[in-house]
Structure 1
Amino acid sequence: MKEIVSLEKRWQLLFVIFFILFLFINCGSESRTEAKKQNFSAIGKDKSTVPRQEEMINRWQQKEVYVTKVIDGDTFWVNNGSEKFKVRFIGIDAPETRNSRGKLKGPYAKEAKEYVKKLTENKWVKLELDVQKKDRYRRMLAYIYLLDGTFLNADLLKGGFAVVDTYPPNVKHTALFVKLQHEARESKKGVWAY
């Protein structure tokens, strides 16, 4: 008889342990799911001003994206609410911040990166596409506009932060780019001061 009572108590104890584990696992998975949602929507450094996924998706309809990280003076990472991807600025080439892909680190690279970072990181920008949508490295190719209307690709050339680098068929603004580079070169701005 003692064995039967002892066996029943063991089963009751096991049932209680499994029930507690079940509750613990379910509560934990709900918190992890909520944490994942929050992490996805919290992309920048300041979580109070970071846009939510829904806002990103809505703004993507107008070709606006949220810049999450600046790589250098002509490339950054963005989020459109459903994916993160790299964007390469069309028609310009900023100096390299490090030696890569056969290109050497260039003068004025740090200044170009910092300038783009100040204007775009953790902010919204508008993308304008041309004929070719992606380059061979699968980066989206775009002309970049700040929300105040500043044409960033042109602004970088004007300030000497980059040089003209066009590849057909993406030549929509080439005449403007060449003109701005000529003016920066004559004024010895940025890369043209070296």
Structure 2
Amino acid sequence: MWIADGIELQLGADSWGRLDVHAPSGAHAVASGGGDARIGAKVAPWSSGAFSFAMLATFVVPAGRAPIGGHVHEHDLGASMAWTADDGRSVSLYADRRWADDGNGNLVAVAYGFPLHAHLGGYIESGFGTGALHAREAGGGVTWMLTPRVQLDASFLRALDRATTDWQAGFGISICFAGAHP
């Protein structure tokens, strides 16, 4: 929800999640359920031509049930920089710092985006995290601007080391409810 030029309020929820674990011993466990809610404020003070910069502060409300959610109070502060070419291709860099009940961590990710069709885009990305955000992963996804205010996206990530979740996949919807069109 756009509050003012360059300021956005974000509300989100992990409405459903599934955890499927296959242990080396042969044990198998599956859990599913609702995840946590998030509230965030995004400030984009610099956006001129091909370069943009934004910061996002997020607070997680542990509204879900374990093991999918409901157990951690979390605060994040992230910053992103993006460079866009005239043909719609882009390169972005994201850095995040997390403070939470279950540990702190840092994450850095880089992504390359490209147009696939008029309202359809693709991207590839790779991330490296430390501490509670430990990750060594790479993946990609697609975005579809269904309307000027509604975007659908699908993504996947693959682990690059044994300590990172093997596969992650996601589907999301973003809706601009109020204010000026971004």
- Specify the TM-score bucket, using the shorter chain as the normaliser: under 0.3
| TM-score, normalising length: structure 2 | 0.27
> With CA pairs under 8 Å and 6+ residues apart, which has the higher RCO, 1 or 2?
1
| TM-score, normalising length: structure 1 | 0.26
Identify, as 1 or 2, the structure richer in strand: 2
Identify, as 1 or 2, the structure richer in helix: 1
Which has the larger Rg?
1
